[in-house]
Structure 1
Amino acid sequence: MRTLARLRNIIDPLDLALGESFMREDIPALFGEAYNPGNWNVGHVVLARKKAHILLVTLNKQGRADEHKYMDHWIDDTHFHWQSQNATDPTSKRGDEIIRHAALGIDIHLFVRDAKLAAGKAAPFTYHGRVRYQSHQGSRPMSIVFGLDAVVGSFAGLDLPSLQPNRLNGLLKFLQNRQLFYFLSIMAKCPASPPLFSLKSKHCSRPWASACGWRVCAAN
């Protein structure tokens, strides 16, 4: 149990959820919260005590009233355009917290799905990780551009051989995005203090990179 506790101190479980799909009612548990339809059946959830804003975005707004057809869309792989609720302006609490979230120590988490339904049932949301405020226009609603910290399903620009041991989160994001690797076990300790991990594919034949004794192998 102590090993698990130490692991949680250096690995944010949300990093391992990057790119995964979650039903709306399962998302609160990622933040240590219980599902309450009154709080979570909306597109913008604020967890004040956790210093977190959660954006739950449905891209296809077909069937919704005009006042709820917010202009949400991907600009490119690393930027997302999000439109706030109609009551939000830059001077409101929510608007200000989004603009100044980095200075306030607030994380903004992005969950996106294409449509409300899939095969006649509620569709899950894909977790795209933390996003960073970049710019905004307008008021009530605000049109905001966010930058993504990681790109689901891509290399996200990580240079594996140059990674240092304290880049654990970045390395795990890379591995999980590619879905080529399997986390087996904690093997030993790194001299710098973080645990050393053995990351292997099921059929690992050649080393991919190493740093502070890390063993990372490419899948066949």
Structure 2
Amino acid sequence: MRGELRQIVEYTAHRPRRVAKPLTEALSRVPLAVNARYSTDEILAALGWAELGRRAPAHMQGGVAWAPATQCDALLVTLRKNEKEFSPQTMYRDYALTPELFHWESQNSTSGTSSVGVRYQNHAQLGSHILLFTRESKSTEAGHPEPYVFHGTAHYVEHRGEKPMAVTWRLDEPMPEELFRRAAVAG
């Protein structure tokens, strides 16, 4: 019994801790917490974009969901991509630059002058929000969909290129060290 208790104490002492934090007042109606984990369905339901239990429509597979009900763009990023699960057109380079800065590539059809590209660049002035979610891979070792970690709101810093746009986002809440290391290695 003592051996088992010792193992539990050692495990919890070395286990990374992430404190879930509520969103800002402007997004208080969105039931998501920063640093918490969510499935795609839970994210879409929280944003008023889809109902729980329904699958994400095929056009959502690009990893971005614009939710007009909450004025949010949810960026759903899989950090480690492979040729088996992603087409050459969706092997976007997405990674953390620092705990506060994230490099993200838009969908291939997005340019700086497109309506979506303009919304990304001017989201703060337009009253919309950018929400960043990451996961390491599409599925767990058991073959189940890996949930996303919600990193909170982000703000446009700059972009380079077109179709896709390589956008740098500044996170309002820095990534915890353990998550930053995982997201930085992806680059």
**TM-score of the pair, normalised by structure 2:** 0.72
Letter in 2 for 1:50: T
Q: What's the % identity of the aligned pairs?
A: 31
Provide the rounded CA distance (Å) in 2 between the counterparts of 1:48 and 1:24: 17
Structure holding more strand per residue: 1
Match of 2:96 among 58, 74, 90: 74
| Cα shift readout 1:181-200 (whole Å, capped 9, x = no counterpart) | xxxxxxxxxxxxxxxxxxxx
Whether the aligned pair in 2 keeps the contact of 1:45 and 1:54 (CA below 8 Å) is yes
> Match of 2:67?
47
> Match of 2:35?
19
Structure 1 residue runs of 4 or more that deviate by more than 6 Å after TM superposition: none
| Cα shift readout 1:6-54 (whole Å, capped 9, x = no counterpart) | xxx7882658611000011111122233244215433011122422111
Is 1:121 aligned to 2:137, yes or no? Answer: no
User: 1:85 offset after TM fit, Å?
Assistant: 0.6
Find the residue that maps to 1:56 and give its secondary structure. strand
Provide the rounded CA distance (Å) in 2 between the counterparts of 1:129 and 1:10: 12
> Match of 1:92?
114
CA gap of 1:106–1:122, structure 2 versus 1, over 3 A, is same
CA gap of 1:18–1:139, structure 2 versus 1, over 3 A, is same
Whether the aligned pair in 2 keeps the contact of 1:56 and 1:112 (CA below 8 Å) is yes
Residues paired across the two proteins, number: 147
CA gap of 1:67–1:32, structure 2 versus 1, over 3 A, is closer
Provide the rounded CA distance (Å) in 2 between the counterparts of 1:58 and 1:28: 16
Provide the rounded CA distance (Å) in 2 between the counterparts of 1:16 and 1:122: 19
Is 1:151 aligned to 2:174, yes or no? Answer: yes
Computing the radius of gyration from Cα coordinates, the structure with the larger value is 1
Q: CA RMSD in A?
A: 2.2
**TM-score of the pair, normalised by structure 1:** 0.61
Provide the rounded CA distance (Å) in 1 between the counterparts of 2:74 and 2:164: 17
Provide the rounded CA distance (Å) in 2 between the counterparts of 1:31 and 1:15: 8
Letter in 2 for 1:149: D
Provide the rounded CA distance (Å) in 2 between the counterparts of 1:82 and 1:22: 20
Whether the aligned pair in 2 keeps the contact of 1:15 and 1:129 (CA below 8 Å) is no
Find the residue that maps to 2:96 and give its secondary structure. strand
Judge which range, 56-65 or 86-95, deviates more: 56-65
Letter in 1 for 2:169: F
Provide the rounded CA distance (Å) in 2 between the counterparts of 1:132 and 1:40: 22
Provide the rounded CA distance (Å) in 1 between the counterparts of 2:80 and 2:35: 20
Judge which range, 76-85 or 31-40, deviates more: 31-40
Letter in 1 for 2:65: V
Whether the aligned pair in 2 keeps the contact of 1:18 and 1:152 (CA below 8 Å) is no
**Aligned positions of 1:193-208 closer than 5 A:** none
Provide the rounded CA distance (Å) in 2 between the counterparts of 1:129 and 1:150: 7
User: 1:97 offset after TM fit, Å?
Assistant: 0.2
CA gap of 1:79–1:10, structure 2 versus 1, over 3 A, is closer
Match of 1:30 among 29, 46, 50: 46
CA gap of 1:133–1:142, structure 2 versus 1, over 3 A, is same
Q: Could you tell me which runs of 5 or more consecutive residues in structure 2 were left unpaired when the two chains were aligned.
A: 1-24, 178-187
